[in-house]
Chains A and B, each alone.
Chain A
């Protein structure tokens, strides 16, 4: 059973998708549904290992191209709608082990090219108003399959967090004739203490207003609203900065750091968003090597985050570990 149910107090949609309770949960490596099908083996999602990157529709989608009618009736206060949309899985490699951080730079560049293609193709699909590219890494953030992969949700509406960012960006632009994110980047550069890693075109920083101890924003230095505007040089530099940041994360506590990664970019609803700035957001749940941050009473109950750390100190920690400059990673990018 699957539908969108309207939350009248928050004025946002909630997705009901009961079939997702049956999805594959942490199978042993020999039974990974994302590995290529082996001769004589059980059929997996991908029949061959001859590929660079594969994208397929999620077997347990939250949003569906042809959704079933809602299983319940809505009301005037809480209407319901079919959960229309598209959910894709992006396999980074046929290899079961590994992670985005350990991929060679040229492979990350290819992945970015695929993200760009999916943004353009899904965004051009009738009824799709927002394309969210994301990755959940680690059991701590709810990962159920360890094969290196990310996901894409194509929404029939603009999700609430993005709507809020769009409204703030528009408001700032109207008042100052300037992009809010570009202005924030200027402030971050003036201060300098929260810059974590940078390339020629992209920069990773731990924002002044961070809600998680190791939360990082990664963004183009020049104003870009979406991946559709990427050049080959942008993809190359982004691959280097992305890898650099992820290697820093993994060097922090000497284990692969779990995280949530989400790409925020312009909606695909046909509107014009010149004041919105593309960026990646990273939310690692760890606050120390052994302790996790949970969304507790104040966060889940009231929507106000409490960060137990100083962004300036955590940024310094991240700066101090892993690669120090993109030059260290560039040679690999030439392979």
Chain B
């Protein structure tokens, strides 16, 4: 059973002995972070190029 909450996905499984196991997945948040990181890298590259000029 998967459930999407603020910033994460929660998947609940049941073990053979009846205990639950909950996986928290923040990969959606990662994608946002990756985008921000790429922007920062791009800005940094542009700044370095401008300084060299």
Contact = CB atoms under 8 A, between A and B. Distances in A.
B25 interface: yes
Interface string B1-36: 000011110100001000111111111010001001
Contacts of A253: none
A54 interface: yes
Residues of A in contact with B, size category: 10 to 19
| Residue of A46, A48, A57, A232 contacting most chain B CB atoms (<10 Å) | A57
A52 B24 contact: yes
A55 B13 CA distance: 11
B8 A55 contact: no
B22 A52 contact: no
Secondary structure of the A side of the interface?
mixed
B24 A46 contact: no
Residues of B in contact with A, size category: 20 to 34
Interface string A42-54: 0001101001111
A59 interface: yes
B19 A59 contact: yes
B36 A55 contact: no
A117 interface: yes
Given A51-B25, A106-B33, A334-B36, A56 B5 contact: no
Contact of B23 (A45, A54, A113, A335): A54
A206 to B, nearest CB: 33
B40 A334 contact: yes
Contacts of A48: 23
A292 B3 CA distance: 45
Contacts of B24: 51-55, 110, 113-114, 117
A55 B26 contact: no
B37 interface: yes
Contacts of A53: 24, 26
B33 A55 contact: no
A53 B27 CA distance: 11
A68 to B, nearest CB: 14
Interface string A276-297: 0000000000000000000000
Given A57-B19, A334-B40, A335-B33, A117 B10 contact: yes
Nearest to B21: A56
Contacts of A52: 8, 24-27
B19 A51 contact: no
Contacts of A114: 24
Interface in A53-94: 53-57, 59
A46 B21 CA distance: 8
Contact of B37 (A113, A117, A335): A335
Nearest to A114: B24
A52 to B, nearest CB: 5
Given A51-B25, A114-B24, A334-B36, A56 B10 contact: no
Contacts of B8: 52, 110, 113
8 contacts: A52-B25, A52-B26, A55-B21, A56-B21, A57-B19, A57-B21, A113-B7, A334-B37
Interface of A: 45-46, 48, 51-57, 59, 106, 110, 113-114, 117, 232, 334-335
Given A52-B26, A110-B8, A117-B5, 16 more contacts: A46-B21, A51-B23, A51-B25, A52-B8, A52-B27, A53-B26, A54-B23, A55-B21, A55-B24, A56-B19, A56-B21, A57-B19, A59-B19, A113-B26, A117-B10, A334-B37
